[in-house]
Each structure stands twice: as C-alpha cells, then as structure tokens.
Structure 1
Amino acid sequence: MAARIDVLVLGFANLVADGISMGFGDYVSSKSEKDVATRERRVIEWDVTNQRNPQVRELLQQYQALGMDESDANTVVSIFSKYKDILIDEKMVNEKATLPPDESEKPWKNGLVTFVSFLAFGCAPLLAFIVLHPFTKNDTLKFIGACVLSALALALLGIARAKIAGQNYAFSAVITVFNGVIAGAAAYFLGWALRNITGVED
C-alpha cells in the first residue's frame, strides 16, 4: 500500500516538475522569438529612416521578382512608402521572413497556459487511481480507469486542437488518442521490460 502511495506522490511531483519545465520552456521560446522580431524591426526601422530610397527600391524589386508587373509594384510600394510602420512591417516579412512583433503578446502568459494545460491533461491517469481508490482495491480496474480518463483527456485535447486549427474534430481526436496510445504503450512496455531485466518485484 505504501509503495502505491509513493508512486502516486512521485507521479504528481514529476507531473508538476515537467509542467514547470514545459511552461518555462514555452516562456523562453516565446520571449526569444519576440526579442528577435523586435531586434530585426529596429534594424529595418533604422534602414528605412536613414536609407529610405534604397529600401523602397529593394521592396519594389522583391515584388517584381514575385511576378508583379512594374506598374502594379510601383503603385503598391508608393502606397506603402507613405506609411513608415507598414513599410517596415512589409520589409520584415519580405526580407527577414519574420512577422512583426506582437506587442500584445505576453510570453509569461504562454508559459502559464502551457503549465496549467500540462497539469490539467497530465493528471488524468493519476486522478483515476485516487478517485477509484475508495471503491475498489483492484489495481486492474484502476489501471483501466486511468486508461479511459487518459483517452478522454487526449480526445478533448484533440478537439481543442481541431477547433483552433479549423480541422475535423473526430479525426483530430482519433489522431491525438492514437499518439497517446503509442506513447503510453511504449512507456508501459519499457517499464515492464526493465522490471523483468532487473528482477524488481512488488
């Protein structure tokens, strides 16, 4: 009994630790991406401010290289050149293949959402053991309950992903559950193999 409690405690501790790692990683990634975009924009802003005509000509050549005829390219660039911020953003996209920095984006929010989401979906298998514990001592039933809750959590994750990406809900849910099954099976059988190799007993 004590061993099972230890496993649950370690499971939750590992879940929180992984969640912190994932959340912090998302924060660092988002902040780095925003910092790079901000730096690139400053460079282009300096170029546009101090070398406006060459920058306008470069943008004109880029549009022509994309297949726009000279007259239309001149029209578009002449309009953009009236608005400094728009011209800078266009040059960022065309020259640096970088989207302008979104000032409303908060990297810490991205990290927090990742952390909370990781905990919410990751605790499903552990919750099954806790919820079912007062009703049964059968570990097989608890394991099945953990599998069912995990599948439901993965299906919800797939549906949420489909809603954001505009994809088919059912297909996304099935793919996400399938991915979870493969990952879970790999972890389970790896643990089973290591247990048998090392001769560890309950």
Structure 2
Amino acid sequence: MKDSHQQDLIKDHQPEMIRKRLSQGPKRENISDAVLGGIDGCISTFAVVSGSVGAGFPSSVAVILGFANLFADGFSMAISNYESSNAESEYLESVIKSEEQHIQEVPDGEREEIRQIYRAKGFEGELLEKVVDKITTNKEVWLEIMLAEEHALCKNTKNPIISASVTFLSFIAVGAVPLLPYLGSSLTMNQQFIMSAFLAGIMFFVIGMLKSLALAKPLLLSGIRTLLTGGTAAALAYFTAYFLREVFNIAGS
C-alpha cells in the first residue's frame, strides 16, 4: 500500500504532470461549504425535534417547526456565506487595485519591497538583483508576489453564488433527514423520535467521514467527533426544553 502511494506521488511529480497541474490553476473547492451546511442543517433540525419532544409537544409541532426552521435557517446561512465570500472577493479586489496603483506610481519603492522580501528568504548580491529584475519585468507576477508575500492573499477561486448554493442545498438535503420519521403517521411519538435520532446520528457520522476523505484525516475519528458534536447540541436542546417545560408547568401531549 505504501509502495503504491509512493509510486503515485512520483508519477504526479513528473515534469509533464507538474506542468499540466500548474497550468490548470488552483481548483475551486466547496467541500467546506457542503460540510458546514450539512452539519449545521442536521444539528439545527434535530435540535428543533429534540426540543419539541423535550417540551412535550405533539409530532405535528415538531414537523411544522422543523420544516420552517429548515428553510429559514438554510436560506439565512446561505446568504451569510454569500456575503462573507463576497466580502472576501471585494477586499481582494481593493488590495489588487491598491498594489497596481503603487506599482504604477512608486515602482522603485515596490521594487525595494520585492528586494527585501527575497533578501529575507536568503537571496543576496547579484542573484538577489537578478531575481528582483526578473519579477518586476512581469507586472502580473509582480502583483501576485506582492499579494502573497505582503498581504498573505491569493486570487480567490471561490464563487460567492456557488458557495451559497452549495451551503443551502447541503443544509436542506441533510437537515430534512431527521424529519422523515415524522412524516409517517403509523409510528408512535417515541418511535418517531428514536428513528429521527438514529437517522441524525448516521448523517453526523457520514458527514464526518466524508470530511475526513476530502482532508485525508482518519475516517473513524472524524465520524465520531462529528457525531458527538451533533449529539451534544441535540441533548442541550432536549434538556433545555424539558427544564423549561417543568419550570413553567406546561402539560405535555
């Protein structure tokens, strides 16, 4: 297994493969949007279900509150993600314009910045001057280096609309799963809650495992960690609702 992995690495780092990979540019990754939306959707919806059960509300209330929360919260989260991604893009554009202006108006000062950046990396003397000359003859390269080295920024590959859409769809798709048992009228309230908890647990575990696959993390550990996070949130919702039910002496169904 290790030898096979080593061979794959060697193959991926052949000159032609490297040239091809770099020519394609950075990939657009939305795994974080999907994971965030899925986990939050499942936690949010199952917390509503748990809170309804803890408060002693009938199944119909859990369904109504669950679906209302599902779409309202999903939309709110998608909009928040859009605004966040859009703000990052706008900030990047403002920095790009500022650096372009600096290169245009004070090129000697910007050259000195490049010189000091690469001097700090260990370049000296004639080699340092050759590096500075080479970089500053290409304004696009010059700008990218200033973004990366001075501002710790890179050209954003995330599309705010795509990020928001992925978040919303994953929120709805995963968040609806804990509500499925409540759509079956043949089940008792206890059976509905047990089935809902079981399905939510599966979703938490699967999302954790999918996240680990994308990030090359241990499958089981990531699945258990996400499961514990979702379970803790649901437990807090249940016991909070139960406590308030007792405090205000609300009769259950």
The TM-score, its normalising length taken from structure 1, stands at 0.89
1:38 aligns with 2:93: yes
The equivalent position to 2:206 in structure 1, one of 156, 160, 175, is 156
**What is the CA–CA distance in structure 1 between the aligned matches of 2:128 and 2:218, rounded to whole Å?**
39
Contact 1:30 1:107 in 2 (8 A): yes
The equivalent of 1:23 in structure 2 is: 78
**What is the CA–CA distance in structure 1 between the aligned matches of 2:99 and 2:152, rounded to whole Å?**
13
The TM-score, its normalising length taken from structure 2, stands at 0.72
Deviation at 1:180, TM superposition (A): 0.6
The equivalent of 2:239 in structure 1 is: 189
Deviation at 1:3, TM superposition (A): 4.1
Contact 1:129 1:145 in 2 (8 A): no
The equivalent of 1:172 in structure 2 is: 222
The equivalent position to 1:55 in structure 2, one of 85, 110, 115, is 110
The equivalent of 1:68 in structure 2 is: 122
- Return closer, same or farther for 1:59/1:142 CA change in 2, 3 Å cut-off: same
Residue by residue over 1:102-153, the C-alpha shift from the partner in whole angstroms, topping out at 9 and shown as x without a partner, is 3xx32111111111111112112111222xx2442x2222111111100111
CA RMSD of aligned residues (A): 1.8
Residue by residue over 1:46-104, the C-alpha shift from the partner in whole angstroms, topping out at 9 and shown as x without a partner, is 11122222211112102222x413145434333222221111011011111222243xx
Deviating beyond 6 angstroms after TM superposition, the runs of 4 or more aligned structure 1 residues are none
Contact 1:93 1:100 in 2 (8 A): no
The equivalent position to 1:108 in structure 2, one of 158, 161, 167, is 161
**What is the CA–CA distance in structure 2 between the aligned matches of 1:74 and 1:192, rounded to whole Å?**
71
Q: Gaps spanning 5+ residues in structure 2: where?
A: 1-56
Residue by residue over 1:22-54, the C-alpha shift from the partner in whole angstroms, topping out at 9 and shown as x without a partner, is 000000000000000011011101111222222
Q: Gaps spanning 5+ residues in structure 1: where?
A: none
**What is the CA–CA distance in structure 2 between the aligned matches of 1:142 and 1:69, rounded to whole Å?**
68
Greater shift in the superposed pair: 144-153 or 92-101? 92-101
Letter in 2 for 1:7: A
Aligned residues: 195
- Return closer, same or farther for 1:73/1:192 CA change in 2, 3 Å cut-off: farther
